[in-house]
Amino acid sequence: MSFLDLKNVTKIYPNGTKAVHETSLSIDEGEFMVFVGPSGCGKSTLLRMVAGLEDITEGDINLDGKLMNEVDPSERDVAMVFQNYALYPHMNVYNNLAYGLKNRGIDKETIEQKVNDAAKLLQISDYLQRKPSMLSGGQRQRVAMGRAIVRNPKIFLFDEPLSNLDAKLRIQMRLEIKKLQQKVGVTSIFVTHDQVEAMTLADRLAVINNGIIEQLGTPIEIYDNPKSLFVAGFIGSPQMNFLDGNLKNKTLSAEGFEIKDINSDYEGDVTLGIRPEHLSQTENGLINLKVDLVEQLGSDNLVYGQLKDKKDFCYRCPGNQTIKTGANLSLNIENNKYYIFDKSTGKRVN
Amino acid sequence: MTRFITSSFSHLILLIGILIMVFPVWMIFASSTHTSSMINMSGLQMFLGDSFYENYLRVLLYQGGFFKEITALKMFFNSFIMATGVAILSVVTSLMAAYALVYYRIKHATFLFWIIFITILVPLELRIFPTYSVMAELNLVNSYFGLIVPISASAIATLFFRQFYKTVPDELLESAKLDGANTWRFFVDFLIPLSKTMIVAMLIFMFVFGYNQYLWPLLVTTSEQYWTVVMGLKMMSGSIVHRFAFVMMSMVPPILIIIVLQKHFIKGVFQDK
Ligand SMILES: Nc1ncnc2c1ncn2[C@@H]1O[C@H](COP(=O)(O)OP(=O)(O)OP(=O)(O)O)[C@@H](O)[C@H]1O
Ligand SMILES: [Mg+2]
C-alpha cells in the first residue's frame, strides 16, 4: 500500500449532487500530485475528503497505513492551504503559525524555534508581530504556507492557493512552492484549474472531469499522450486544434486533406487533434491556413486563422519568423504528431 | 466657504439638540445642590447651590423604606449586582446558544431559532405571574438569583451573535480544525475574540436593561433588603432636593458602564478593520 491510498472513493452531497465517482488513486511518499480540471469537476471535493472536511460517501482513504474514513480532521495530521488563505484575523503572524503547535501541547521554546525556522524559510520573519490584515497578498500567502509547514504534517493540501495573486506573483510563488516542497519533501496534493500551474508543479498529474479521473501520469506523459479528447483539449496552451474527419481502412479523410497509413483499426467518425506547436511550414503541405491575426510573444508567434471550411485554427511558430495578416500558409504536421479520437466517446483511437 | 457655512450650520443644529436634551438634567442637578426651602420658595434653580455634600451624603446613608431598613447605597449595590448579573449571564447564554444553533448539527436549527426569536414578542409583563410562581416554588423569592435568572435569557443577543457567527467564513473553522482545535477551542480561541466588539456592546445593552427593571424586582422582592435603585425612585419619599439628588445618582452607573466599556468597544471596532 502506498502512502496515500484512495479506493473507490465516491462523494454524493446531501442534495444529491454526485461530485466524485468511484475514484481510486495512490500517491507515494514525497510525491507532488496535482489535481487539475475545469470548475466544478470535483477537485476540491476530493481534496476535502482527504482532509476530512467532507464525509466520504463510499470507499476508503488510507493515509500512512491507517484508515482515515472516521478520523476527525484534527487527528489526521494534514495541513491545508486555502484559496483565501483563511488566516486567523485576530492573531498576529506568530500566533497564526504557533496555534497548531500549541494545540498539541508542544512546549514554548520548541514552538518558538519551529515558528522562527519556518518564518525564515518563507522570509516572513519581519512580519511576525503583524496581524494578517496588515500584510500584502503575497505575504499572506506565505503565512498560509508557513502555517502548513511549521506543523510538519504527513501531507500538504493546497486548494487553488495562487488564484488570488496577480500574474507575476503567481509565477513567483509557483516556483517557490515547488522549491519548498522539494526542500521539505512532504507529500503534497495541489488543486488548480490552471493547466500551466499543473504542468509546472506536478510530479504526477490527475486530470479530472465530471468527478472522474480521466488520466493520470507525469505532465509530459499526459502532454505527449492524451488518452481522451477532454485531456487533449485541457492540457496544452494554446489549446489543441480539433478537426472533424472520418477514418476508414487506416485512412483519415478530413476537410481538404487525407492522412494515410494510420496506426488504428477503428472505423467511423473521428476528431483529429493537432497541437499548434506540432506544425511547420512547407510547400504543398496538408493544411492551408489563411491568417487572421498574429500574436507576437517574442519567443514565439501565435498565428490564428481559418481553414478552407472556415474552421478556426492556431499555429505556433518561432518568434523570428515574420508572418503577415492575410497570408496563406501551407502547413505540415511534424513527425506524425497527431491524435485521433472517437467522435462519439472521445476516446483516443490511434 | 459654502462648505464652512453648511458645516457650521449643521453643528449649530446639533448643539441646539444637545442643549435641549441636557438642559432638564442640568436643572435637576443644579436644584439638587440647594436647600429644600430654597426650591419651595423660588422654584427650580439654574445655578449651583452649596448644599451638594450635605444632600448627597444624606441620601446615600438615609435609612429609607417603610421599615427603614434600606439605604440608597444598598440600593445601588443591589442594582449593580442585578444589572451585572443579567448582563454577564445573558451574554454567556446567548453566546453559547448561538454557537450551538450555528455550528452543531442540530435538526431544524432554524426553526428552533425562530422559536427563541418569538419570545421577543412576548413581553416580560405577560409571563410575569407564571415566572413568579416558579420562583416562589423554588424558594427563590427575595434573592439575587431570583432577581437575575428569570430575565437573563436574551433572544435579541442570541439573534445578534447568531447573525455574526453566520458571517464567519467556513474556512476559518476548517482551518482551525486541521490545526487541531476541537469545538470548545474554536469557541474560545476564535468566536469569542472575533465577537469581542459585539460582546461589549451586548454587555452594555443588557446592563442597562437589567438596571432599568422595575416590575420584576418589585414582584420578586418583599424584603426591603433587595430593593433596587429604580424601585427606590418610585418608593422614595422625603424632601424634593433629596429626591433630585437620588435621581441624579441613579443615572451614574449606566453612564459609568458605557464610559468604561466604550473604550474596548471602539478599540475592537478599529482593530477588526
Ligand atoms: N456542499 C455542497 N452541496 C452540494 N453540492 C456541492 C457542494 N459543494 C460542491 N458541490 C457540487 O459538487 C461539484 C464539485 O464541486 P467542487 O467544489 O469539488 O468543484 P471544483 O472542481 O473544486 O471546482 P472549482 O475549480 O470551481 O473550485 C460541483 O458540481 C458543485 O456544485
Ligand atoms: Mg474548488
With cut-offs at 50, 70 and 90, classify the pLDDT of residue B273: very low
Nearest to B172 among A53, A86, A103 (CB): A86
Of chain A, the percentage scoring pLDDT greater than 70 comes to 100
Q: Model confidence over B176-219: pLDDT tens digits?
A: 999 999 999 999 999 999 998 899 999 999 999 999 999 999 99
pLDDT in tens, A304-346: 999 887 889 999 998 888 888 888 899 999 888 999 999 999 9
Per-residue pLDDT tens digits for B145-161: 999 999 998 999 999 99
A207 and A174 co-located in one domain: yes
Beta-bridge partner residues of A9: A23
Q: What confidence tier does B268 reach under pLDDT thresholds 50, 70, 90?
A: low
Residue B242's pLDDT band (boundaries 50, 70, 90)? Answer: confident
Q: What tens digit of pLDDT does each residue of B30-59 get?
A: 999 988 888 888 888 888 888 888 888 888
The CATH number of the domain holding residue A8 is 3.40.50.300
pLDDT-derived band of residue A19, with 50, 70 and 90 as boundaries?
A: very high
Ligand at minimal distance from the CA of A158 is 2
Q: Taking the CA atoms of B54, B59, B60 and B66 in sequence, report the sign of the dihedral they define.
A: positive
State which amino acid sits at residue B144.
Y
Residues A243 and A227 placed together within one structural domain of the fold: no
User: In ligand 1, which atom is closest to the CA atom of A43?
Assistant: 21
Confidence of residue B82 (pLDDT cuts 50, 70, 90): very high
User: Residues of A numbered 136-165 whose beta carbons fall under 8 angstroms of chain B's beta carbons: which are they?
Assistant: 147, 151
**Domain end: A173, A200, A231, which one?**
A231
CATH number at residue A318: 2.40.50.140
* Mean pLDDT of the region A117-136: 92
Best of A12, A17, A57, A193 to mutate for ligand 1, by most ligand atoms within 8 A of CB?
Answer: A17
| Range scoring the smallest mean pLDDT among A230-239, B96-105, B218-227 | B218-227
Determine the Cα–Cα distance for residues A23 and A47; give it in Å rounded to an integer: 12
Measured torsion, CA atoms of residues B257, B259, B265, B268, in degrees rounded to the nearest 10: -130
- Would you report the helix, strand and coil content of chain B in percent, each value rounded to 5? 75, 0, 20
A54 and A196 together in one domain: yes
Q: For residue range A276-306, what is the model confidence (pLDDT) as tens digits?
A: 999 999 888 888 999 999 999 889 999 999 9
Give the residue numbers spanning the domain of B111: 71-237
Identify the band that residue B267 occupies on the pLDDT scale cut at 50, 70 and 90: low
pLDDT at residue B271 tops 70:
no
pTM of the model: 0.83
Q: What is this model's ipTM?
A: 0.84
Mean pLDDT of A149-163: 92
Q: Does B109 touch chain A (CB under 8 A)?
A: no
Residue among B171, B179, B193 whose CB faces A90 most closely = B193
End-of-domain residue from the set A214, A231, A248: A231
In chain B, which residues have their Cβ closer than 8 Å to the Cβ of A131?
271
* Domains: count for chain B: 1
Q: What is the pLDDT of residues A40-83, one digit of tens each?
A: 999 999 999 999 999 999 999 999 999 999 999 989 999 999 99
Query: Could you tell me if residue B17 is inside a domain?
Result: no
Q: What is the pLDDT of residue B166?
A: 93
Distances (CA, A) of B267 to A89, B196, B200, B207, B261: 15, 10, 11, 20, 10
Predicted pLDDT at B65 = 63
A166 and A34 assigned to the same domain: yes
CA atoms within 13 A on the CB side of A310: 0
Q: 3-class DSSP state for residue A224?
A: helix
| Shortest CA gap B171–chain A (Å) | 6
Q: How would you list the strands of the sheet with A328-333, edge to edge?
A: A279-281, A328-333, A287-296, A300-306, A312-318
The pLDDT of residue B125 is above 70? yes
In a domain, A347, yes or no: no
Do the beta carbons of residue B272 and residue A89 sit within 8 Å?
A: yes
| Residue A139 vs residues A146, A171, B202: alpha-carbon distances, Å | 10, 15, 35
State the average pLDDT for chain B.
Answer: 88
Contacts of B172 in chain A (CB under 8 A): 86, 88
Domain-ending residue, one of A210, A231, A252? A231
Range of lowest pLDDT (A19-23, A112-116, A221-225, A259-263): A259-263
Specify the pLDDT at position A237.
Answer: 85
A42 CA to centre of ligand 1 in angstroms: 6
Rounded to the nearest whole angstrom, what is the distance from the C-alpha of residue A159 to the centroid of ligand 2? 7
- Are A43 and A191 contacting, i.e. CB atoms less than 8 angstroms apart? yes
Are B264 and B196 contacting, i.e. CB atoms less than 8 angstroms apart? Answer: yes
Kindly tell me if the per-residue pLDDT of B269 is higher than 60.
no
Of chain A, the percentage scoring pLDDT greater than 90 comes to: 72
Residue A273 and residue A191 share a domain: no
Is residue B160 a part of any domain in this protein?
yes
Predicted local confidence at residue B47, as pLDDT: 86
Residues A195 and A284 in one domain: no
Kindly list the protein residues whose Cβ atom lies closer than 6 A to any atom of ligand 1: A 13, 15, 17, 19, 37, 39-45, 193
Closest CA to ligand 1's atom 7: A13
- CB contacts under 8 A, B 224-253 vs A, are none
Residues in a beta bridge with A11: A20
pLDDT at position B265 over 80: no
Flag whether pLDDT at A274 surpasses 90: yes
In a domain, A283, yes or no: yes
Residue A349 lies in a domain: no
Residue B81 placed within a domain: yes
- What confidence score (pLDDT) does residue B264 get? 77
Which chain B residues touch A73 with a CB distance below 8 Å?
Answer: 174, 177-178
| pLDDT value of residue B59 | 83
- CA geometry: angle A217, A154, B103, nearest 5 deg: 105
- Strand intervals (E) in A37-145: 58-63, 66-67, 78-81
Q: Are the beta carbons of B178 and A73 separated by less than 8 Å?
A: yes
For residue B136, what pLDDT band results from cuts at 50, 70 and 90? very high
The parent domain of residue A54 ranges over: 4-231
User: Does residue A175 sit in the same domain as residue A254?
Assistant: no
Domain match, A216 and A247 both: no
Do the domain assignments include residue A350? no
When CB atoms are compared, the residue of B169, B174, B179 closest to A99 is B179
In a domain, B167, yes or no: yes
pLDDT value for A18: 94
Which residue's alpha carbon is nearest to atom 24 within ligand 1? A39
Pair (A244, A288) in one structural domain: yes
Residues of chain B contacting residue A89, judged by C-beta atoms under 8 Å apart: 194, 272
Atom of ligand 1 nearest to the CA of A211: 14
**Inter-chain contact A88–B177, Cβ cutoff 8 Å?**
no
Query: Ligand 2 mean position to A213 CA, how many Å?
Result: 15
* CATH code of the domain containing B211: 1.10.3720.10
- In B, minimum Cα distance to A150 occurs at B179
pLDDT of B133 reads 93
Is residue A210 included in any domain, yes or no? yes
Whether B110 maps to a domain, the answer reads yes
| Amino acid B223: pLDDT | 86
SS3 B54: helix
CB contact under 8 A, B177 and A53: yes
Q: What is the pLDDT of residues A174-225, one digit of tens each?
A: 998 999 899 889 999 999 999 999 999 999 999 999 999 999 999 999 999 9
Whether B209 maps to a domain, the answer reads yes
- The tally of domains found in chain A comes to 2
Same-domain check for residues A252 and A226: no
Residue of B nearest to A103 (CA): B180
Beta bridge partners of A253: A246, A258
Q: Nearest CA of chain A to the CA of B271: how many Å? A: 9
Residues A56 and A109 in one domain: yes
Number of other CB atoms surrounding residue A346 within 10 Å: 17
Residues A41 and A148 in one domain: yes
